Structure 1
Amino acid sequence: MSIEIALFDGHPKQHRRPGPARMLHLSTDHGPALAAALAEHVGPAADRRLGRIDPYGDTLFNEQDAGAAFEEATALLARCTTEEHRAAVRDLRNLLAICSATPGSWLAFSGD
């Protein structure tokens, strides 16, 4: 199980402006560790953003979702017990922060 994260400058599946959304960053280095950290420390819950990330499918976060999930990721980082999981969650937090600070941006999580 692995989760990759892509940051886009617009909605990756809609084409409202000329041309498709541009991918600004792709994170593939921590996929298995991120999936493990989320599975170990975050249960699925409708009121939590990180719990909505599907480890087997696709999940999209807009900038508001990313901002709310940043606080959850901060708490998750404190619960991580291995350096591999901490590195994965730090990468996640970085992308959440960038997305929440960039109007119109989206994060696409791709699980397998």
Structure 2
Amino acid sequence: MGIDLQLHDGRPHWPGRRSKRGPTLVRQSHEHGEAPARLIAELPVNTSGKLWTVDPYDDTVFNEQEAEAALGEIPDLLDRCSDEARAAAVRDLAAFLADCATTPGSCPVFVGD
């Protein structure tokens, strides 16, 4: 189980869908393996937060407002980190969310297994 992070400059363009617009991928990260998925799986569910809604087995797309809200959850996630690998994954996630929150129309995508 792993989650890769992607940042798109608009709603993602998935192959096979008809669209006049080309690919929108701005950047992506695969380097953290299972760390993001494990951290998110440990979050309490049915809270006011956004990150617990990320599906580790399917793709989850946020908009810029949801990304900004999820940024508020980063300090708690960092407190839950038991090692440097998990902390690095959270810092990378924070960078993706911050980039999205400051880029109108962008979307972070959590690509699940």
* Cα distance between partner residues in 1 of 2:105 and 2:25: 13
* Cα distance between partner residues in 2 of 1:89 and 1:25: 16
Could you say what secondary structure the match of 2:22 adopts? coil
* Cα distance between partner residues in 2 of 1:100 and 1:74: 17
| TM-score for both structures, normalised by structure 2 | 0.88
- The aligned counterpart of 1:28 is 30
Judged with a 3 Å threshold, the aligned counterparts in structure 2 of structure 1 residues 47 and 13 are, in CA distance, closer, same or farther, namely: farther
- The aligned counterpart of 2:4 is 4
* Cα distance between partner residues in 1 of 2:59 and 2:47: 16
- The aligned counterpart of 1:74 is 75
Task: Quote the offset at 1:61 in angstroms.
Answer: 0.5
| TM-score for both structures, normalised by structure 1 | 0.88
Runs of 4+ deviating beyond 3 Å? none
Could you say what secondary structure the match of 2:79 adopts? helix
Shifted more, 17-26 versus 4-13: the winner is 17-26
* Cα distance between partner residues in 1 of 2:72 and 2:10: 23
Report if the CA contact (8 A) 2:9-2:105 is conserved: yes
- The aligned counterpart of 1:53 is 54
Judged with a 3 Å threshold, the aligned counterparts in structure 2 of structure 1 residues 18 and 74 are, in CA distance, closer, same or farther, namely: farther
* Cα distance between partner residues in 2 of 1:13 and 1:21: 6
* Cα distance between partner residues in 2 of 1:90 and 1:27: 12
Report if the CA contact (8 A) 1:12-1:20 is conserved: no
Could you say what secondary structure the match of 1:7 adopts? strand
Judged with a 3 Å threshold, the aligned counterparts in structure 2 of structure 1 residues 22 and 84 are, in CA distance, closer, same or farther, namely: same
Q: Equivalent pairs: percent with the same residue?
A: 44
* Cα distance between partner residues in 2 of 1:18 and 1:46: 38
The answer for unaligned runs of 5 or more in structure 1 is none
